[in-house]
């Protein structure tokens, strides 16, 4: 074989970001988004799984977060410390990630996550975020914009709501305030609201009462080349109006999702 025809071998950048194999799959399959632009995109809704807080994977994750906060580490790769079965048991991160104020790089490669909690906004040192190949993670909390140093991210774009390659629809959000009238926000259906509890405003950080909740979507360029679909839990129309202008090439106003939202054509990468 000639030198020119010798195949090039690339190293796996994330080989140390996942745990051991073992029995079982580390994540569930997801069919929320059609992975071809030739098929009509189906209506989407939030993943409704609740975190089992008695699962060994969750309990181990709590320990790992506590250890990382105590030793003030700058790179946190929690999944590398979990077995395949344990990784599959984790569908969100604990609120205690707010204590990871020294972490500069959060690696969640190949996770089974379906949501990230708003407490990620307290990770004030975060510079790089890597949830790559987390194919069930379709959106992010608006609070991630509170990480002032975030400059790099590696995200599986085709898994995101509203991504420019496929333009899948965003889940339809309840109408402003009306959907929460007469109910508390501490025990919600995550398949409807995107979270099991909503406590504070994504914009001003004030407490949210059920009757004041306004949920909207906005697509923002939060780091590098990635435009992320962000879920905003706002306490007033004033906070919704204070949101920054969406990224060029995406829906240009905050919106409540659903198949009726008109998006730019698929396949054309925005500038």
pLDDT tens for each residue of 71-105: 999 999 999 999 999 999 999 999 999 999 999 99
Rounded Cα–Cα distance for residues 252 and 27 (Å):
34
- Give me the residues paired with residue 106 across strands: 76, 129
Q: Are 132 and 109 in contact (CB under 8 A)?
A: yes
Rounded Cα–Cα distance for residues 42 and 160 (Å):
14
Q: What is the largest CA-CA distance in the chain?
A: 74
SS3 217: strand
SS3 24: coil
Mean pLDDT of 31-52: 88
Confidence (pTM): 0.89
CA distances from 48 to 80, 114, 191, 194, 268 (A): 26, 9, 4, 8, 31
Q: How confident is the model over 123-176, as pLDDT tens digits? A: 999 999 999 999 999 999 999 999 999 999 999 999 999 999 999 999 999 875
Residue 6 has pLDDT above 70, yes or no: no
Q: How confident is the model over 207-251, as pLDDT tens digits? A: 999 889 999 999 999 886 789 999 999 999 999 999 999 999 999
**What's the pLDDT at 182?**
57
């Amino acid at each position: 074989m000639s030198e020119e025809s010798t195949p090039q071998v690339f190293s796996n950048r994330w080989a140390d970001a996942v745990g051991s194999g073992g029995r079982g799959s580390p994540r569930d399959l997801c069919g929320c988004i059609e992975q071809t632009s030739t098929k009509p995109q189906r209506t989407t809704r939030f993943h409704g799984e609740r975190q089992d807080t008695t699962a060994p994977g969750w309990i181990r994750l709590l320990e790992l977060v506590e250890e990382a906060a105590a030793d003030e580490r700058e790179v946190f790769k929690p999944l590398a410390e979990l077995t395949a079965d344990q990784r599959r048991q984790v569908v969100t991160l604990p609120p205690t990630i707010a204590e990871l104020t020294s972490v500069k790089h959060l690696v969640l490669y190949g996770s089974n996550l379906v949501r990230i909690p708003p407490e990620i906004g307290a990770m004030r040192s975060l510079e790089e975020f890597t949830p790559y190949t987390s194919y069930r993670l379709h959106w992010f909390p608006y609070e991630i914009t509170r990480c002032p140093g975030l400059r790099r991210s590696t995200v599986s774009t085709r898994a995101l709501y509203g991504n420019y390659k496929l333009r899948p629809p965003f889940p339809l959000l309840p109408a402003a305030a009306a959907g929460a009238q007469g109910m508390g926000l501490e025990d919600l259906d995550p398949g409807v609201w995107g979270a099991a509890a909503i406590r504070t405003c994504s914009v001003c950080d004030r407490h949210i009462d059920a009757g004041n909740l306004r949920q909207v979507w906005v697509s923002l360029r939060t780091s590098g080349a990635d435009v992320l679909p962000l879920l905003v839990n706002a306490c007033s129309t004033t906070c919704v109006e204070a949101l920054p202008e969406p990224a060029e090439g995406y829906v240009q106003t905050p919106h409540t999702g659903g198949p009726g939202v008109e998006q730019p054509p698929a396949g054309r990468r925005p500038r």
